[in-house]
Amino acid sequence: MTAQAAPSTRPSPLRMILFVGAALLLALPLLLGGYPLYLATEALCWAIAAAALDLLVGYLGLTPLGHIAMWGLGGYTAALLVKAGLPMPLVLAAAALIATIYSALTAPLALRAGGIFFLMITLAFAQMLQALIDKWSAVTGGTDGLTFQPGVDSTVLYLITLAALALSLFLLTRLTRSPFGRVLEAIRQNEGRARALGYPVFAYKYGAVLIASAFIGLAGALGAYHRGIVTPSDVFWLQSAVLLIMVLLGGARSLWGPVLGAVLYTVLQALVSSQTDLWAGLVGALLIVLVLTGRGGLWAILHRRQA
Partner 1 sequence: MQLVLFQLVNSLAFGMLLFLLSAGFSLIFGVARVANLAHGAFYVLSAYIGYTVSQASGNFWLGVLVATAAGAVLGVIADRLLLSRLHGQELRQVLLTLGLTFVISDAIRHFWGADIKSVSPPAPFEGPVTLGGLVFPSYPFVLIVLGVVVFLVMRWILRGTLAGAKIRAVTADPQMSGTLGLPVLRISMLTFAAGIGLAAFGGAVGSPQLALTPTLDSTMTLFALIVVVIGGLGSIEGAFIAAVLVGLVNGFGAVYFPAFAQMAVFALMILVIAVRPQGLLGRKLGNA
Instruction: List residues near partner 1 by CB under 8 A.
Output: 63, 109, 112-113, 115-117, 119-121, 123-125, 127-128, 131-132, 135-136, 236-238, 241, 244, 248, 277-288, 291-292
Which of residues 267 and 282 has its CB atom nearest to partner 1 in the complex? 282
Which of residues 11 and 281 has its CB atom nearest to partner 1 in the complex? 281
Q: How far is the CB of 7 from partner 1 (least distance, A)?
A: 26
Which of residues 88 and 126 has its CB atom nearest to partner 1 in the complex? 126
Identity of the amino acid at 2: T
Quote the strand ranges of the chain, DSSP E. 146-147, 229-230
- Cα 227 to Cα 295: distance, rounded to the nearest angstrom: 34
Identity of the amino acid at 79: A
Q: How far is the CB of 55 from partner 1 (least distance, A)?
A: 16
Which of residues 128 and 203 has its CB atom nearest to partner 1 in the complex? 128
User: Three-state SS for 195?
Assistant: helix
Q: How far is the CB of 150 from partner 1 (least distance, A)?
A: 30
CA geometry: angle 239, 75, 99, nearest 5 deg? 85
Cα 295 to chain centroid distance, Å, stands at: 20
Which of residues 180 and 237 has its CB atom nearest to partner 1 in the complex? 237
Q: How far is the CB of 127 from partner 1 (least distance, A)?
A: 6
Burial of residue 11 (CB within 10 Å: 0-12, 13-18, 19+) is exposed
CA geometry: angle 281, 287, 288, nearest 5 deg? 90
Which of residues 177 and 295 has its CB atom nearest to partner 1 in the complex? 295
Identity of the amino acid at 181: G
- Cα 293 to Cα 277: distance, rounded to the nearest angstrom: 26
